[in-house]
Each structure stands twice: as C-alpha cells, then as structure tokens.
Amino acid sequence: MVIFMNKQISMVIILNVLLFCSINSAQADQSDALYIWNADSICIRLYESVEACVNNELTTYYLLNGFQLDLDRLNMGAEISSIVFLKKPYYFKTETISNKLPFVICENCFFIGHPLHDTPRYSIDDASSPIIDNQMIIKDTNLCILGRIEQGFLFCDQNGIGITTADVVSSAGIHPQIRNMLSEENAIEIAAESLQKKYSTFDLSALHSVVMFNPEYLNPEQSYYIVVFYPGEDSRINYYSVYMNAIDGTIERCEFCEQSFG
C-alpha cells in the first residue's frame, strides 16, 4: 500500500514538473520578440489594403529594419500580415518578419531626426489627442525615427513610441548597424575611385575625408552620402565632393570647389 502511494505521489510530481515545463515553454514562445528585417532594403513598405500590398503599389509608408513588432497590434498571415497604428491596419509581406536580427539592438539604431519647431507628441493609439497632457516635443529634440504612416513619422523617445506630423522632421543621421547600406569605408573607396577617373590631380594620400549621411525620410532607399576630401583643416576650401546613393553606391555627381559659401 505504501509502495502504491509512493508511486502515485511520484507520478503527480512528474506530471506537475511536465506541466510546469510546458507552461514555461509556452510563455517563452509567447515572449519571443518579432522584428522587421528586409534583406533587400532598409525597410518594408506598408500598404492601406491587401490588394495594394499584393500588387506592390506605390506607397511612402514603411517600417525600418529592426522595428520590434508589438504582438498586440500584429495579425500574422501566411503571405500578408497587418499591424495596427491609430486604430487602422497597415499591410505588409509576412516574409519580412523575423525572430532574430543580424546585428545587436542598441539605442539610436534607426534614422535620427529632430523637429524644426515645437510640435505635439501624439499617441500611436489615438492621434486625436497628444499623449501625456498636451506634451510638446521641443524644437531640435533628437527623435529615433522608426517608420512612417499616413499621419506622420513613428518615432521613439523617453516616453516610448509616438507619432509626429510629417512636415516637422529634419535629417541628422543613422546608426551603422541598422542599415544594409554601404559602410562609410566603402563609400570613401568608391568616391575616391570616381574622383581619380575624373581628376588627374586627385591624390587621396594628401587629403582628409569625411562622410555625411543624408536620410530621405519619405523614400529611405534614396538616402545618400556626401563624401568630401579636403587638404587642410577647413573642409570648405579646395575640396572634392561626391554624392552617391547610400545603398548601392551609384554616383550622382562628382565635383571640385575652391571654396564653399554655404
């Protein structure tokens, strides 16, 4: 009788352990983060309808690579998924959802921009009223831009994810790990080769170089580098400049200037 009871107790313990492990496993699966990762670009396009998504229609809405998807907003489908912002679904290709990223997530890993003037900070849940008692975003505040939807730019600040109107963001920069673009080193190499072909007097060894990144917020694939080579301490005198697409390195123009007055 004692042996039988011991066996029963042992079975109960084993079942409880298995149940505990099962619950923990389920919780772990539910807590796994999902991200946007598009190997062919630096973003995925968002569409206002399934049909527009299937047909790859023109749109300026997007989420940048590395965006962590809120599972409460996400509706996953076999080929087309949707995510809700401002109580409205935006559709995108399911194949761009990943449970891991080919880089380490860190601060400022998206476009960095700032408002040109004080502007309301809106909630992504309800754009009709600014978040936190009419809180304003102060002019020149750095905003981590995550994407763009119809009403404006999604951004991240100390209060979480918000939205600001589309006409107030100016450019600043981007973290190098988020962009599957040219590295600054490669940009310098490509720019130098182009200048050597155009100018016989171009001598890379005698020049300093600086790379400036210019994000295009409406169409991030059109973001570009300006690579500047200059001989002295002032990069505005006797300098060479090259404008190139920051993703594929296509040269837009090369030029030499004796002095910049901008």
pLDDT, position 107: 53
Backbone φ/ψ region at 222: left (φ over 0), alpha (ψ -120 to 50), beta: alpha
Where does the pLDDT of residue 23 fall: very low under 50, low under 70, confident under 90, or very high at 90 and above?
very low
Taking Cα atoms as reference points, which of 126, 149, 141 lies closest to residue 45? Answer: 149
Q: Which amino acid is at 250?
A: T
Q: What is the pLDDT of residue 129?
A: 62
* Planar angle of CA 209, 215, 216, nearest 5 degrees: 140
One-letter amino acid for residue 134 of the chain? N
- Grade residue 192 by pLDDT with cuts at 50, 70 and 90: very high
User: What confidence category does residue 242 fall into, taking pLDDT thresholds of 50, 70 and 90?
Assistant: very high
pLDDT in tens, 88-113: 999 999 999 999 887 766 555 688 88
pTM: predicted TM-score of the whole model, two decimal places: 0.75
Instruction: Please say whether the beta carbons of 145 and 153 come within 8 A.
Output: yes
Helix, strand, coil distribution of the chain in percent, nearest 5: 25, 35, 40
**CA distance to 57, 146, 164, per residue, from 152 (Å):** 19, 11, 6
Average pLDDT (129-141) is 72
Checking if the pLDDT of 28 tops 60, the result is no
Predicted confidence band at 218 (pLDDT cuts at 50, 70, 90)?
confident
Task: Dig out the tokens for 3 from the structure.
Answer: 């042996």
Per-chain mean pLDDT for the chain? 81
Please report, for the chain, how many H helices and E strands are present, in that order.
Answer: 4, 20
Angle at 69 between CA 175 and CA 19, to 5 degrees: 125
8 Å CB contact between 171 and 110: no
Task: Count CB atoms within 10 A of the CB of residue 113.
Answer: 23
What digits encode the pLDDT tens for the residues 136-150? 888 888 888 999 998
User: What would the 3-class secondary structure string for 237-253 be?
Assistant: EEEEEEEEECCCCCEEE
pLDDT at 89: 96
Distances (CA, A) of 69 to 6, 32, 66: 49, 11, 9
Asked if the model's pLDDT at residue 14 lies above 50, the reply is: no
Does residue 160 carry a pLDDT above 90? no
Positive or negative, the CA dihedral 56, 60, 65, 71 is: negative
Residue 11 φ/ψ, nearest 5 degrees: -65, -40
Reply yes or no on whether the pLDDT at 73 is more than 90. Answer: yes
